[in-house]
Structure 1
Amino acid sequence: MSEATPTALVTEYTNTTQRLRTILLQGLAETFGGLGSWHAHDVDVFLEQALPVVSAAHGAMATLTDAYLAQLIADQLGLVPAPLGVEAIPAPRGIPVEETYRRPFVQVWAELAQGRPLSEAVQAGQVRLASIAATDLQLVRTHTTRDVLAEDERVVGYARVPKGGETCALCLIASTQTYRKKDLMPIHPGCDCGVRPLTEETGPDEDLLDAVHEAIGRDLGPDFQDYAGTDYRNFMVVQEHGELGPVLAVRGEHFTGPTDLS
């Protein structure tokens, strides 16, 4: 990544990681959609073609995130950037990636069992695949961030940067507070937020409250806007997901079964 101001670095990193995500999802969609059939014996064919692409994208995300954090930390301290050279976590969910990327086929088979046409079943499988790939890429980002920041004694914590392409109300609410550097950033399926390392203690970012209020009405409904004048974080909770780790949710939401493991 190039030398630039902190704001420009955030923008450059955001744009680069968005392009990486887009390329990955497009490539996987083409591979899955081009199989021609989606029987059990097609799973291995897909995995052989898809997993090297997934691995390369994960490696690129780890390298980009490592360099980005090093530059921001160096900028705050007036030093020369020193990336750690970390590698991507091999199994972001703690299970073999082969198991995760079988799930789009399971989705297709489940749709067919319910009487859906093949075209609709395959489309449902592609949606599941995109969700899995995007979430795994974000997990690589959050794990890399935690590993890098935990190694730097000069860093006291981090703030969420909701500059991705799918910034939702929950991400905006979460971005008004700061986090301990050893805590994994809570995500949600489709989340693409970044982080900003902090070398000194700061308070919550109250400048985002207008954007938060608007996003709550858009994403959660007008009833939630009745919380105006209160702390919106009262109805935002962090739940522990069996595979994804900490996940943002609205109070009262729960994970109920395998279909939640996007």
Structure 2
Amino acid sequence: MATPTELGRARYSQVTSTIRAIVERIQQIWRGLSAAGVEEDLLGDAGAGIVTAVAEGQLTVAAAAQAYIAAQMAAQGGSAFAEASLVAAAFAGIAPDGGPLETLLYLPAIGVRQRLAAGLTPDEAMLGGLADMARYASTAVADAARSADQVAMAANPSCVAYVRVVQLPACARCIVLSGQMYSRSEGFLRHPNCDCQTLPLREREWPGVPTPRQLVGRMSEREQRRVFTVAGARAIGDGADVGQVVNARRGMSTAHVFGRDVQATTEGTTRRGVYGRRLRRAGGEFARVPGQRYARATTPRLMPEEIFRIADDRAEELRLLRRYGYIV
């Protein structure tokens, strides 16, 4: 049987390989676009192709989450049994901030226009737009994987916590959080393009995950200077605490939506959506917002992170996850 560390590496490899394949597909589509027409193109077939590729990637990594958590619990001597089944489709088509994926993946077109206005050449503007698109797509898929993993943890009564696993190369903000243990329902701190992962735990025990100091020891002097700055690397080398050198939370968030306290999404809230179908059977109300094609539920659909934050206990978590269509 594979060890928890080996299972974690396999999960990391699955997510990162899915992201690489999506970025390659985006690059193929992007080659056929021009700076002059990129905004129109991303509203048309090219944009639809990119959105489809990213949504399919989100579905792929989410669909593997429950099997991964079950394998982890079994490897740690627990039960692979889950009290509910994860709905992988509930994690596809949603941006990390809870908004529509289409909106997020249109932003690179705006970036291209801004670069042109700043005096960059069309080729330079398009190269920057491609970098933006790759970053947004990668973040959306990685977030879907982590979110699905946490929901699968909630569905498995054996899982009580998770530990943050950092893979090099990594930024300073992530390095100082390596090996930190959290309650399985605690939000995962991340930044755009973050590829850190959660290692689910059956019991509150410290696994063989490298500490920040150990990660720094594996880095070359050049890499340390790049990540921590020259002065920061020197301070760490002189014995300074890594966490004191780096502001661990700067740039991190738990995916708040438009600065509001409640983390919600409009995805899946039409009558045919994952949440909408369930709400319709329960007699819920729908209304059409001016400018939108379909009527949407008048009751917001909470994101998994918000459910974990407000639920008083595990029974309440499962009830809300079912209500909002993440598990059945």
- TM-score band, normalised by shorter chain: 0.7 to 0.9
1:93 aligns with 2:92: no
* Alpha carbons of structure 1 residues 12 and 112: separation in structure 2 relative to 1, 3 Å: same
Residues in 2 aligned to 1:70 and 1:203: alpha-carbon distance in whole angstroms: 19
* Alpha carbons of structure 1 residues 21 and 168: separation in structure 2 relative to 1, 3 Å: same
Contact 1:217-1:224 at 8 Å conserved across structures = yes
Gaps of 5+ in 2: 258-328
User: What is the SS of the residue equivalent to 2:248?
Assistant: strand
What is the TM-score normalised by the length of structure 2?
0.66
Deviations 1:116-169 (A, max 9, x none): 111111001001101101111121122112212223332221001223x64333
User: How do residues 1-262 of structure 1 correspond to structure 2 at under 5 angstroms?
Assistant: 4-36=2-34, 37-45=36-44, 46-80=46-80, 84-87=85-88, 88-89=90-91, 90-91=93-94, 92-163=96-167, 166-203=169-206, 207-208=210-211, 209-212=213-216, 214=219, 216-225=224-233, 226-227=235-236, 229=239, 231-234=241-244, 235-238=246-249, 244-245=255-256
* Alpha carbons of structure 1 residues 240 and 210: separation in structure 2 relative to 1, 3 Å: closer
* Alpha carbons of structure 1 residues 175 and 111: separation in structure 2 relative to 1, 3 Å: same
Contact 1:177-1:203 at 8 Å conserved across structures = no
User: What is the SS of the residue equivalent to 1:135?
Assistant: helix
Question: Which deviates the most, 102-111 or 201-210?
Answer: 201-210
Contact 2:15-2:142 at 8 Å conserved across structures = no
Contact 1:28-1:50 at 8 Å conserved across structures = yes
Residues in 2 aligned to 1:152 and 1:205: alpha-carbon distance in whole angstroms: 22
Query: Percent identity over the alignment?
Result: 24
Deviations 1:9-49 (A, max 9, x none): 22222222221110011111211221245343222222221
Residues in 2 aligned to 1:7 and 1:204: alpha-carbon distance in whole angstroms: 9
What is the TM-score normalised by the length of structure 1?
0.81
User: What is the SS of the residue equivalent to 1:42?
Assistant: helix
User: What is the SS of the residue equivalent to 1:236?
Assistant: coil
Question: How far 1:229 sits from its partner (Å)?
Answer: 4.2
Residues in 1 aligned to 2:77 and 2:207: alpha-carbon distance in whole angstroms: 21
- One-letter amino acid matched to 1:84: S
Question: Which deviates the most, 181-190 or 34-43?
Answer: 34-43
Question: Which deviates the most, 153-162 or 4-13?
Answer: 4-13
Contact 1:149-1:155 at 8 Å conserved across structures = yes
Deviations 1:164-186 (A, max 9, x none): x6433332221131112112211
Larger radius of gyration: 2
Residues in 2 aligned to 1:106 and 1:34: alpha-carbon distance in whole angstroms: 18
User: What is the SS of the residue equivalent to 1:98?
Assistant: helix
- One-letter amino acid matched to 2:60: A
Question: Number of aligned pairs?
Answer: 243
Deviations 1:182-241 (A, max 9, x none): 122111222112211111113587853232354654411232242554543343332586
* Alpha carbons of structure 1 residues 166 and 188: separation in structure 2 relative to 1, 3 Å: farther
**Aligned-residue RMSD, C-alpha:** 2.8
